[in-house]
Amino acid sequence: MNNYDYGVIGNGRTSALVSKSGSIDWCCFPDFDSPSVFAALLDKDKGGSCSFKVADTYHTSQRYFNKTNILVTCFDDGTSKFEIIDFMPRYKTDDDKYYTPPEIYRFIRVRQGRPRLAIYYDPRLNYAQGKTFHEINGEFIRSSSKSPALESVYLYSSFDLNKVVCHEEIELEGDNFLLISYHQKAIPIDIDRVYIEYQRTKVYWLNWVNRSRVFREYNQFIQRSLLVLKLLSYQKTGALVAAITTSLPEIIGKERNWDYRYCWLRDASMTIETLIKCGHFNAARRFMNFLTNVIRSKEEGFQIMYGIRYERNLDEKILDHLSGYENSIPVRIGNEAFKQVQHDVYGFLMDILYQYFHYFSGTLDEVEEMWSITKNIVRHVSIAWNQPDSGIWEFRGIKKHFVFSKILSWVAMDRAIKIANMLNKDATVNAWRELAETIYADIMKNGWNENKNSFVQSYDSDEIDASLLLMDYYGFIESNHPKYKGTVNAIRKELYHEGLVFRYRHQDDFGTPESAFVVCTFWFVRSLYAIGEKEEAKKVLDQLLSHANYLGLFSEDIDFNARRLLGNFPQAYSHVALIQAATLLSEQKHRLGFIRP
């Protein structure tokens, strides 16, 4: 069974997927959203990769160096054994800045015998849209492409570069390396330099994890999820990418394939709260800085998503020369969802602002700026809340009065009132409370379906929707309220299937959903816990965690029949929800703070 047999490495600048057999099948340089250098993930023949050929007698295994994002792939045939240690450098420099270059180290260590291998280094730049040329220049191989734009990468190695280019078999002795860099290096690269970069990066990750809170159960899953979230955080701006990939399908052979290398505001409020809860206040602050920079303008409207450098235009394009993951087309870059009208964005934004005032409140001028933005969002809510929109699931051809969008409009007003109370704006509180009460009454009247004994996806419908599991999380309704319990039970009856949860079951723009949504299943765990079914919550969580790949990583979707991971990978929202569900069902270990750096 193919269950995304990949580990992920990265450094907050970019990232890569390394297969269980040691092949780099996905990597974009220099940033997360840049064109790919290796894209065999999306086309085995055209995409390009960096791999090793060994005798069929070798068995491979893969693990992370404990508490790091350093990946170790072991090759063992019983007589000879060697390891590929893959990492992207990340550490603090003497001037308290972060060193995060767009480059991959492949540190090759012999553990036993005299292993033999051939190196297949085959970058295909610019999403393999044009021909890539290779040129040996003494100390490196320069690979370049002129179509559609001039790009180049450099390979440094302790091996004979001619043997690398010609795929000649090499007998390993001692320690060796490959360094794949977006830039030509300004200093000599040798095995000593590789060892220094390895140790500095290892120490950085160990120190970062050491600041995490520790839990008695599920700690390995929580820890790995935190490492994934840190890896997905763009160092330059603090943005959190939803995933590092594009166009991994929700359903094999279908067209639900999207580019997730952007930052969704939907993910933000939960992520910030989760990072703080787990002890990473500074990481949360950096993400908050990105978000407050995004929403500073009084004039521009608010989008559901942005580029990692605050870009607003994310125009979508199809790469029809690539065959797609397991022939699932189209392959898309960019994401047209940035144009969608989704009223839930106001609730997400206001929840972010509330957390700003609660945890991060800055100087007086900054507070006044955030207060202006708060008032601007309220103005948008007052105009838009009773209009149809595209909903949280980003329907491309459907606009309705989605209940979750209405709930998040109420959330926007609720958090705005809390902010106004913090600032002693009594008259404003009274005016805004009236609108909040109007929205609340409208939802209770039109969003509830007596026949279903549940809130439903949209007004005048009887469709059940998993997003409604979050009603209590955002404070719209208490978890012990009969209508919330009724909604959870309706979701259990109609969307919960063989241990996993659909988002919804009805037909949409692209047909009928066939895969489970990972984040919805974690939400279901949280909701079961909230209504008092703690044993059932633990049972569902344990079953769901069994579907992670062998490294504890989750994508966006799971195939009900094959139980394989689908959708973009690894997915931030899935790992945020994992942490939230797992920490509910585990007790935190308390440590003496003064012994931790």
Domain membership flag for residue 307:
no
CA distance 2 to 562: 9
Strand (E) positions, 337-419?
Answer: none
How many independent structural domains does the chain possess? 1
Domain membership flag for residue 497:
no
pLDDT of residue 190: 97
Q: Which pair of structure tokens corresponds to residue 28? A: 């974009």
Domain membership flag for residue 478:
no
pLDDT of residue 592: 53
- Residue given tokens 């290892």 in the structure block: 202
pLDDT of residue 534: 97
Residue 499 — φ and ψ, nearest 5°? 85, 0
pLDDT of residue 293: 86
CA distance 17 to 24: 6
Who contacts 360 (Cβ-Cβ below 8 Å, separation ≥6)? Answer: 285, 288
Domain membership flag for residue 76:
yes
CATH of the domain at 134: 2.70.98.10
Per the rule left: phi > 0, alpha: psi between -120 and 50, beta: everything else, 571 is beta
Domain membership flag for residue 46:
yes
Do the Cβ atoms of 259 and 268 come closer than 8 Å? no
CA distances from 419 to 343, 367, 372 (A): 20, 11, 12
Residue 135 — φ and ψ, nearest 5°? -140, 125
Domain membership flag for residue 119:
yes
- Nearest CA among 242, 291, 243, 301 for reference residue 269: 291
Range of the domain at 97: 6-210
The DSSP letter of residue 81 is E
- Residue given tokens 């870009």 in the structure block: 311
Domain membership flag for residue 93:
yes
pLDDT of residue 394: 86
CA distance 8 to 569: 9
Domain membership flag for residue 502:
no
The pTM score is 0.95
Do the Cβ atoms of 310 and 303 come closer than 8 Å? no
pLDDT of residue 1: 46
Output the tens digit of pLDDT for each of the chain's 597 residues.
Answer: 478 999 999 999 999 999 999 999 999 999 999 999 999 999 999 999 999 999 999 999 999 999 999 999 999 999 999 999 999 999 999 888 999 999 999 999 999 999 999 999 999 999 999 999 999 998 999 999 987 778 999 999 999 999 999 999 999 999 999 999 999 999 999 999 999 999 999 999 999 999 999 999 999 999 999 999 999 999 999 999 999 999 999 999 988 999 999 999 888 778 988 998 898 988 888 888 888 888 776 556 788 899 999 999 999 999 999 999 999 999 999 999 999 888 999 999 899 889 889 888 788 998 998 899 899 999 999 999 999 999 998 888 889 999 999 999 999 999 999 999 999 999 999 999 999 999 999 999 999 999 999 999 999 899 999 999 999 999 999 999 999 999 999 999 999 999 999 999 988 877 888 899 999 999 999 999 999 999 999 999 999 999 999 999 999 999 998 999 999 999 999 999 999 999 999 988 776 554 455
